Amino acid sequence: MQKTILLLLLIFPILAYSQVNINKTKKEIKKEISAFKKSNPIYSVSTSETDSTLTIIKTDADKNKEETFLAFDRDGRCQSQLQVFNCDHCYKQELEKLLSIERYQWKKINENQYISKFEAKLMIELPTQDKTNTFNIIRTDWSKLLYDMLTGN
């Protein structure tokens, strides 16, 4: 029983970090990164930033690398999140986690795009031609009419 609890406590910070950063401020995201670093010493995490971007590079002990590029709007809120993986398994696992977040109610609209429920106003874009291990989460500003057209309602 104690081993199970310990395992859950070790896994929880990884799952907590694996999230959508859209609409968060740079300060909020940096605080989450700091907490992730403290609770997951097996990862090497580095960041760099400009006025409107934040780049996060996370590498595990097996040299699996995840790069996250965040772009912020004029109000300082994250408007897009591009994730790049050097490992097929890591990419597929992260995409599955993202699509399983129930509060977004993701719907596949074509081979390389998913949209969230209307209120969340998010879209996931997957690569089309090049088979790179990337996905991009974008905050949208669609109208109800456009959303209904996308979903076929």
Q: Percentage of the chain surpassing pLDDT 90?
A: 73
**pLDDT band at residue 1 using 50, 70 and 90 as cut-offs:** very low
**pLDDT band at residue 14 using 50, 70 and 90 as cut-offs:** very low
Q: What is the pLDDT of residues 67-114, one digit of tens each?
A: 999 999 999 999 999 999 999 999 999 999 999 999 999 999 999 999
| Residue 67 host element (H or E) | strand 65-72
Q: How far apart are CA 79 and CA 77, in angstroms?
A: 6
Q: Which residue, among 135, 108, 103, 107, has the nearest Cα to 119 in the 3D structure? A: 103
Q: Give the domain ranges of the chain.
A: 2-151
Per-residue pLDDT at 128 exceeds 90? no
Give the CA radius of gyration of the chain: 16
Whether the model pTM is above 0.85:
no
Q: How far apart are CA 22 and CA 139, in angstroms?
A: 7
